[in-house]
Amino acid sequence: MTVMKSYLWQSFPGAKMSDAVRLQVDDFSVDQEMTALRATSLRIGGIASFTGCARDFSEGRNVMKISFDAYGKMALAELNRLRTEAIEKFQLIDARIVHRVGTVLAGDQIVLIVTGSEHRVAALDACHWLIDELKARVPIWKKEITPEGDSWVTPHP
Amino acid sequence: MMKILFFGPVAERVGLREMQLDHRSGMVLQDVVAQLKAAYPAAFEIVCFTAVNETQTRDMQQLLNDGDEIVFMAKFSGG
């Protein structure tokens, strides 16, 4: 068994705004993502979005920061699969998914899902489905950093 | 050699994010699990998913190849 040097974070290939699916350290703009999605087709009649944010309170403790770790290659592949599945399952015109990695502060944005379809129901249903599937299927882990200490988050509905 | 990766809570319990194991002919996933479980029992208490070359597998008899990338993961908590 050869032990390799420990490191805090694996670098990701540079994510570009034009990519519909991204893992990135930097914050994102909901407006820009919506604009990018709307620009894909004049047939879009409804756009739904979900933004996940870092709460400042969890399990009775004040949360200052949340740190994200991810198996980057697999997470990105799974996010792309989710987008493709959602487009097919809900007959979407397009969808975008952005998830941040690294450390975010309480109140910061974490994840964005934007879905566009001809009619509202498909966009809304797809958005809900995508965030649920993302939580269950994408290899990302979050750790809450609190004054009392750090702890990895146990998944909940 | 095979590359073994750990992330998040599993990496914290192992104390490492990456290690390499020698590959032997005929080696299956269960062999790696047994070796690492003995070395890092606390980490394997929370391992829920295993991936070989970025594909999740539950087949502990899966034959491993030299150069494979194996990842042991806790339940996901993204989003």
Residue A2: pLDDT above 80? no
Q: How confident is the model at residue A148 (pLDDT cuts 50, 70, 90)?
A: very high
User: How large is the angle between the packed helices A72-90 and A120-137, nearest 10 degrees?
Assistant: 150
With beta carbons under 8 A apart, name residues in chain A contacting B39: 1
Minimal Cα–Cα distance from A77 to chain B, Å?
Answer: 9
Is A12 an interface residue toward B (CB < 8 Å)? Answer: no
Which among A3, A7, A68 is the nearest to B19, CB-wise?
Answer: A3
The four Cα atoms B67, B56, B54, B10 give a dihedral, to 10 degrees, of: -90
Nearest CA in chain B to A154: B77
Q: How confident is the model at residue A3 (pLDDT cuts 50, 70, 90)?
A: low
Q: Which residues of A116-146 are buried (b: 16+ CB within 10 A; e: fewer)?
A: bbeeeebbbbbbebbbebbbebbbbbbbbeb
pLDDT of residue A154: 80
Q: What percent of chain A has pLDDT over 70?
A: 90
A151 against A9, higher pLDDT = A151
Is A69 an interface residue toward B (CB < 8 Å)? Answer: yes
- Three-class secondary structure of residue A55 per DSSP: coil
Is A135 an interface residue toward B (CB < 8 Å)? Answer: yes
Q: State pLDDT tens for residues B11-41.
A: 999 999 999 999 999 999 999 999 999 999 9
- The β-bridge partners of A62 are A57
Could you give the ipTM of this predicted complex? 0.94
pLDDT of residue A75: 97
pLDDT of residue A9: 44
Residue B56: pLDDT above 70? yes
Query: How far apart, in Å, are the Cα atoms of A38 and each of A19, A28, A136, B66?
Result: 14, 17, 28, 46
Residue A4: pLDDT above 50? no
Q: Which of A62, A149, A50 is nearest to A96 (CA)?
A: A50
Residue A35: pLDDT above 80? yes
Q: How many CA atoms lie within 13 A of A53 on its CB side?
A: 8
Report the mean per-residue pLDDT for chain A. Answer: 92
State mean pLDDT over A63-90.
Answer: 97
Q: What percent of chain A has pLDDT over 90?
A: 85
B78 contacts A6? CB cut-off 8 A? no
With beta carbons under 8 A apart, name residues in chain B contacting A10: 17
Is A111 an interface residue toward B (CB < 8 Å)? Answer: yes
B75 contacts A155? CB cut-off 8 A? yes
pLDDT of residue A15: 77
Minimal Cα–Cα distance from A142 to chain B, Å?
Answer: 6
Q: State pLDDT tens for residues A80-110.
A: 999 999 999 999 999 999 999 999 999 999 9
Minimal Cα–Cα distance from B29 to chain A, Å?
Answer: 15
Q: Which of B57, B28, B43, B1 is nearest to A3 (CA)?
A: B1
Model pTM score: 0.92
Is A139 an interface residue toward B (CB < 8 Å)? Answer: yes
